[in-house]
A and B are shown apart, each in its own frame.
Chain A
């Protein structure tokens, strides 16, 4: 009970704190010559782009202010158009983004790629980086020659990139004059990106450098093989003991109840949230920052997972599987569950067709306290532009504006499903159904959706029941989401040492769960983490937090 109320207090504080940043009231008090400072504290803060919802289709399942998404059980019959003219100028644009899928066919043989180029009015040279190589690839690109940077770079926030804020500040175009306040009105679809996404992306040195990719508040989710887990005795209102019992019954022979991918710490996010641990950082009433690592509930979640691992419920390759490989094991029933982003629903249901039925898990309770769920950063990543002349920047922003066209427009349909009759056909209800070619030529393989996208909605073509189930699930889970209080805040120590500090903790946590290290090794690692920069980060975040609220 106390855990619950504390968590609730923390998350509401976090939300309130972030919602009332008053732009323009703070003026710079430090000299403007310190161009190297990425902190926002003590800087003049550029106002966030003025939010103006882009007109789209009306949902039949209502969104909530807390973060339940608008749901569409059917596809809008009349598509509107949100971009009046071709945004590009015929030039070549070099683009780089992460992907979670396999690489696409080359442009010359890829009709989706060609259709995107035609619609945007530019030639797109795409450097596509698989998720597993992303950190290394970005590190070398960032350290490389500034002239050879791509024009448009997606900075994916799922990793702590070394010196990310410094890189963006030194090498990317300052977009404040183009997007801050009313200026964003020139790009109506970018104006339709809600303030919470900009806020969680955050400013750097008080300025706006990127365009965020908005995401629902429901973050890392435990996806279940519904049949397998129901057969093993899963029921709503389950406890951590029930979870372990279900995992036991769901494991036999070469079938494992629990799957996990490399670098997910055996799916720790789901378990630490169920234990109501702070997700990375929590802030208390007097503005002090507390690290999740130092929280007993976090440690308890690690111990719980170590027991599950020891009892043999995890797939043996849980520390080395890539996400696509894990998904394959999930579909073929080798693993009964896996942690993945909530957004994975967009392909899970279709890919699992005829094999199994996926479902998001409700968090289990621990010691009588209802479990929490991870609150995602409302900005999944953000897009920065290479420094250029004003006209070029405006053109690039028009491209992003096109890609951010909302659900229910022709532009959205093109960027999400490709060409009718080529990549998709219309189902009975008018919704696009991927055709053969659409399965290999799409926005997973050619990830234009990671350059800019409209606020996401709940929609699955031809699967109204799944949409209703997800919407109902969100209503239960959104109120218990636990937000990382550091979202949108800058810490100099985090940008300098965050990557290696995090990697060292990740290694230790993985070792403890894998049974290679003990909980006292964990305590020692936390002490090293604190003295190596963790405590300093807490101070810096508190300073930022105080300045922004």
Chain B
């Protein structure tokens, strides 16, 4: 118990005190306590800063796209894997699907560039057969769908793990009983599978809502210069460029704090809604 408690005190709650720089003009050379207090200045500047709102908007757009297009993919994939009866094939497909999760973003981004870039595989092929080339990499309009596609490619397989675990707990007798009662595959899915794994889906959805303002840092940072910050700046990269690169630590802390507070409120609200609907949610 004590080591766990110490960990939380030092690395979680202790570090929270650092958020005080959000109301300071933090100068690293003058230290945490000697930097001047500026009150709500950083927040005021932030709310007036068009670049900040651009980053919030980009984050939300990407998040919503991920929620709509990415979130269902692991579920569908898990159902597909679950329906495979030959376990050798199933294990092989599972391994192949997990693998991309272990590639770093640098490699994934490079891979997409090699395939879809101006001089990549796709465009070389289109050029060779005399068709128009497509402008995907470096095109700000295509950026958001592109990053969602990258996430799907990389993490869809990995995302199936929890669903598969939930699916394995569904009582086989229920399927048999439903089949005997004349339920086809679709009805069995709708009336047996889905109700059984619904708590897990809701749990994951709530946790995803808490992270609605986090859409991946490395992935955006690596591709930001190619399309410009108007399309690719998200809150995390905004914090990085203002704070670490720009040295405006107090301002960056204010933006980070904003993100944390919004995330906490969303988790809390979503959990409440889940309870209202009679679900277990994340916590009681």
Contact = CB atoms under 8 A, between A and B. Distances in A.
Interface of A: 36, 135-136, 139-140, 142-144, 146, 161-163, 166-167, 170-171, 254, 262, 316, 319-320, 496-497, 499-500, 503-504, 507, 510-511, 514, 516-517, 528
B245 A139 contact: yes
Nearest to A502: B246
B225 A320 contact: yes
7 shortest interchain CB distances as A-B pairs: A162-B247, A143-B28, A170-B29, A500-B246, A499-B246, A511-B228, A163-B247
Contacts of B226: 319-320
A320 B249 CA distance: 27
Interface in B225-277: 225-231, 241-242, 244-249
B50 interface: yes
Contacts of A146: 29
B140 interface: yes
Contacts of A528: 50
Given A162-B247, A516-B230, A500 B27 contact: no
Contact of A162 (B25, B119, B245): B245
**Max chain A Cβ within 10 angstroms of own Cβ: one of B119, B138, B241, B247:** B247
A142 B28 contact: yes
A499 B247 contact: yes
A500 B225 contact: no
A158 to B, nearest CB: 15
Secondary structure call for the A interface: helix
B246 A162 contact: yes
Contacts of A142: 28-29, 247
Given A166-B27, A320-B226, A504 B51 contact: yes
B229 A163 contact: no
A496 B50 CA distance: 19
A135 B246 CA distance: 9
Nearest to B140: A516
A143 B26 CA distance: 10
Contact of A499 (B25, B140, B230, B245): B245
Contact of A500 (B25, B30, B228, B242): B242
A139 B247 contact: yes
Contacts of B230: 507, 511, 516-517
A516 B245 contact: no
Contacts of A262: 225
Given A166-B27, A504-B51, A516 B228 contact: yes
Contacts of B228: 507, 510-511, 514, 516-517
15 contacts: A136-B245, A143-B249, A162-B245, A162-B246, A163-B29, A170-B30, A171-B29, A320-B226, A499-B245, A500-B248, A507-B228, A510-B228, A511-B230, A516-B228, A528-B50
Interface of B: 25, 27-30, 50-51, 118-119, 138, 140, 225-231, 241-242, 244-249
A342 B153 CA distance: 45
Among B25, B118, B231, B248, the one with the most A-chain Cβ atoms within 10 Å of its Cβ is: B248
Contacts of A36: 30
A504 B226 CA distance: 15
A481 to B, nearest CB: 30
Nearest to A36: B30
B247 A143 contact: yes
A507 B29 CA distance: 29
B270 to A, nearest CB: 34
Nearest to B139: A516
B139 to A, nearest CB: 9
A39 to B, nearest CB: 16
Contacts of A136: 244-245
B245 A503 contact: yes
B135 to A, nearest CB: 10
Contacts of A143: 28, 247, 249
A358 to B, nearest CB: 25
Contacts of B227: 516
Given A319-B225, A514-B228, A528-B50, A162 B118 contact: no
A503 B246 contact: yes
Contacts of B225: 262, 319-320
B105 to A, nearest CB: 16
Contacts of B246: 139, 162, 499-500, 503
A250 B241 CA distance: 37
A135 B249 CA distance: 15
A316 B118 contact: yes
Nearest to A497: B248
B248 to A, nearest CB: 6
Contacts of A170: 29-30
Contacts of B242: 500
A507 B248 contact: no
A536 to B, nearest CB: 14
Nearest to B241: A503
Contacts of A320: 225-226
Given A500-B242, A516-B140, 13 more contacts: A135-B245, A139-B244, A139-B247, A142-B29, A143-B28, A143-B247, A162-B248, A163-B247, A316-B119, A507-B229, A517-B228, A517-B230, A528-B50
A496 B231 CA distance: 27
A140 to B, nearest CB: 7
A174 to B, nearest CB: 15
A511 B227 CA distance: 8
A81 to B, nearest CB: 41
